[in-house]
Amino acid sequence: MAVVAVTGATGFIGRATVAALVAAGHRVQALARTPEAAGGVRAMGAVPIRGDLSDPARLSELVSRADALVHCAGQVRGVGYRDFAKVNVAGSARLFAAARRAGCAVLALSSLAAREPSLSHYAMTKRTMECLLAEPDAPAPAFVLRPPAVYGPGDRELTPLFDAMGRGYAPIPGNPEARVSLIHVYDLAAAILAWVEGGARATGIHEIHDGHAGGYSWNDVVATAEELRGAPIRRLVLPAAAMRATAVLNSGWSRLAGRAPMLTPGKLRELRHADWVADNASLLGTIEWQPRLDLRAGLAATCDWAGASSDNGSRHEQPLRRNLYPFARVARALRPGRHQDRAADQAGGRSGSGFGAGDGSAHGAGGPSGRLHSDELPAGRRDDGRSGQGDGGQPRRLSLFDKFEPIARIRRDIEASGIDPLGVPIERIISATEGVIGGRRMILAGTNNYLGLTFDDDCVEAAVAAVRSQGTGTTGSRMANGSYDGHMALEAELAAFYGVGHGVVFSTGYQANLGMLAALAGPRDTVMLDADCHASIYDGLKLGGARTLLFKHNDPADLDKRLGRLGEAAQHTLVVVEGIYSMLGDMAPLAEIVAVVKKHGAAILVDEAHSMGIVGQHGRGVVEAAGVMDQVDFVVGTFSKSLGAAGGFCVSPHAELDMIRYASRPYIFTASPVPSVIASVRAALARLRDDDSLRDRIWGNANRLHRGLSRAGFTLAAPPGPVVAAVFDSRETSLAFWQGLLDRGVYVNLMLPPATPGGKCLIRASLSAAHSRQQIDHIVAAFKDIGAPLAKAG
């Protein structure tokens, strides 16, 4: 494992590079200019170093303990030479000086444009950067890569061209027969990884491309896109005179507006240059690397409109360009046979586990694979990955545990800080809202016990009676010997509660999503899901093998656009959303989403895990509040939140739901819920159905806590609801705040990247109908007591 310093980590190429390095087990420390960038770095599993290329002290800190430096940062937009030189020349010079002092090897990303420095200020500054590494006092070894046009998920320069081709036309900025080499960002990241894993010893300036000798003409690119799109694309050759006029106008406007445009006279000269063909020969003899993605495969892995073919390798490549893209699967695919245990195949979504269960979305943890490559910790892990005894009685390290070393290291670091959120047992439960931790009485505000029914007399007595009459367990699956009369009665009661005809009960809420989606959505099906959906949803889709596409979180317009792109295939698409999302506590605009779904003839599944019992006139969730119960195909829920037990369910108006029992492996091969759980859930459901006061009380508590924290100046993630999450700007601040609340008798959830959407650090409180006003006020007072000094420190 190497320690690698990276600049430009939150840029297009930098994100791919960091993801490839982290997925391969290396420790990455990355320069971050802003708190937001630092959060993004943490979310990728790297350690942020706050600062920029103008700060020599931060640059020295960045490289001081690094084995290698990868310099991805670069200025690509500007008008005059100074605009580019500030970063590409002066900033690079400071960085290289720090690397030389630290004895750190350097890989610098240049550009194929550097071989034609007279074309543009950008090309000139990139060439100058290369010359810095040839000086006598330059760091050594020094390795320079000159990529041609780089494309892939997250790219902003070529994306407009690809989007246009997806709509049926291709704007061509120059001679359609001019030649240009290309490289997919995953291949470029794999080459950087190969240099690191080769000991960071290779030197020299090397061009790189995707292996297609002689490059591509614009006509070649459009022809490949037509093949993938399955329809003609109209070629629009842009007039040279019009482009020159636009470039001149852009440059003049940018000087007045203080903003750097993309199209300038220099950029236009680059675009219209006749020959940007790269030569891989010197590179292939220097590092152990081969390109894997030619233009066809690269486009299929980049453009959602190019993903129709089931064999193009793009089944799980998402059309949504998020800051956190699942590079781990691609990193493995690019290096077959090596580090096969380093990464897991993902359906899109966060990889690794942070603190808390996570929601498995496209930019957070607990993702579909559960691969552990973040700088956070999986819940409940206690060891450092060692097993057995070696020679001399010393512990022998089992290679299977090598992948966990970054996790173990962070675990040790956090334990050394004296703050250990994962090692805090609740020693005794006093009531639905109180417990004992560390010998002290605590208010429990992190249990998801929304209606406070875990100590309800009727529920407890029903559970006890079931244990006495039916024993402690079923000892079998529903398909074998585990289907009791209580299971069937609960299914009928759930279907009646939702006013539909059919229901199925699962052993856990996780299995409800896993079992439903694995059976409903197979390899020939398409599923469109909200980017922030829970890990269980991603895992069910991965198990079933469906083609998986994302739409922007809570964005019906984006869903409409993406379903529209599917054409007739939208009528065979399942849309998956949640009622309330567990991390931030925000609610889906379900009426608008359902209207879009029905417009395109698709089906919809709604996960009401965090909204059942809380939202709607009768507690049926957001489907009821939005007035769309009769338009939703499937409602999935859990017994572990409002109903105070464990288990899950799905209800549906479709009689074919019963077929799930014969097709769902998680249902068929799992022991059925124990009688005591079924009995307590039935009692809780009856209480929910008959007692509206529970919903009134939790909403009163939610509004009171939200109002108190908002007035105290805290940034809250969503409007009032059963989850109230305060947002913090760093892991350190969040850890200290969590400990401060615990010291003041309040237990809440600490949620850190990548378990959270957008790389946010959260202190998450989940409210209960059983909380008293005095307890809510105590929680607010504890926040206010420690909030101001920590906010200043953060």
Tokens of 689: 């159905």
In whole angstroms, what is the distance from residue 721 CA to residue 715 CA? 15
**Cβ contacts of 585 within 8 Å, gap of 6 or more:** 610, 717, 718, 721, 722, 723, 724, 725, 764
CA gyration radius for the chain? 28
Neighbours of 601 (CB within 10 A): 12
Sheet holding 27-32, edge to edge: 47-50, 27-32, 3-7, 68-71, 105-109, 142-146, 204-207
Q: Is residue 534 flagged as an active site residue?
A: no
Q: Is residue 582 flagged as an active site residue?
A: yes
In whole angstroms, what is the distance from residue 764 CA to residue 788 CA? 18
Which one of 641, 706, 760, 771 is the catalytic residue? 641
Q: Which of 576, 592, 572 is nearest to 541 (CA)?
A: 576
In whole angstroms, what is the distance from residue 603 CA to residue 525 CA? 12
In whole angstroms, what is the distance from residue 744 CA to residue 22 CA? 37
Q: How far apart are the first and last CA of the chain?
A: 31
Which one of 582, 642, 664, 680 is the catalytic residue? 582
Cβ–Cβ under 8 Å, residues 730 and 790? no
Tokens of 679: 């009995």
Q: Is residue 610 flagged as an active site residue?
A: yes
Sign of CA dihedral 522, 525, 526, 530: negative
Strand partners, 109: 145
Amino acid at 317: E
In whole angstroms, what is the distance from residue 113 CA to residue 147 CA? 9
Q: Is 665 helix (H, G, I), strand (E, B) or coil?
A: helix
* Alpha helix positions (H), 44-184: 56-63, 81-85, 92-102, 121-132, 159-166
Tokens of 743: 């010291």
φ, ψ for residue 353, nearest 5 deg = -125, 140
Q: State the residue for tokens 């997806």.
A: 166
Cβ–Cβ under 8 Å, residues 360 and 534? yes
**Cβ contacts of 393 within 8 Å, gap of 6 or more:** none
Task: Write out the H or E segment, with its range, that includes residue 407.
Answer: helix 405-417
φ, ψ for residue 113, nearest 5 deg = -65, -20
Q: State the residue for tokens 């600490």.
A: 750
Q: Is 548 helix (H, G, I), strand (E, B) or coil?
A: strand
Which one of 534, 553, 610, 771 is the catalytic residue? 610
List strand residue ranges (DSSP E) for 552-705, in order: 573-578, 603-607, 634-638, 648-652
In whole angstroms, what is the distance from residue 370 CA to residue 334 CA? 21
In whole angstroms, what is the distance from residue 545 CA to residue 792 CA? 48
Q: Which of 487, 528, 478, 501 is nearest to 656 (CA)?
A: 501
Chain centroid, CA 252 distance in Å: 40
Sign of CA dihedral 735, 740, 743, 749: negative
Angle at 314 between CA 309 and CA 315, to 5 degrees: 80
Q: Which of 101, 100, 10 is nearest to 52 (CA)?
A: 10
**Cβ contacts of 68 within 8 Å, gap of 6 or more:** 2, 3, 4, 5, 104, 105, 106, 107, 195, 196, 200
In whole angstroms, what is the distance from residue 347 CA to residue 328 CA? 11
**Cβ contacts of 677 within 8 Å, gap of 6 or more:** 463, 639, 645, 646, 647
Tokens of 578: 């949640």
Instruction: Tell me which residues are annotated as active site.
Output: 582, 610, 641
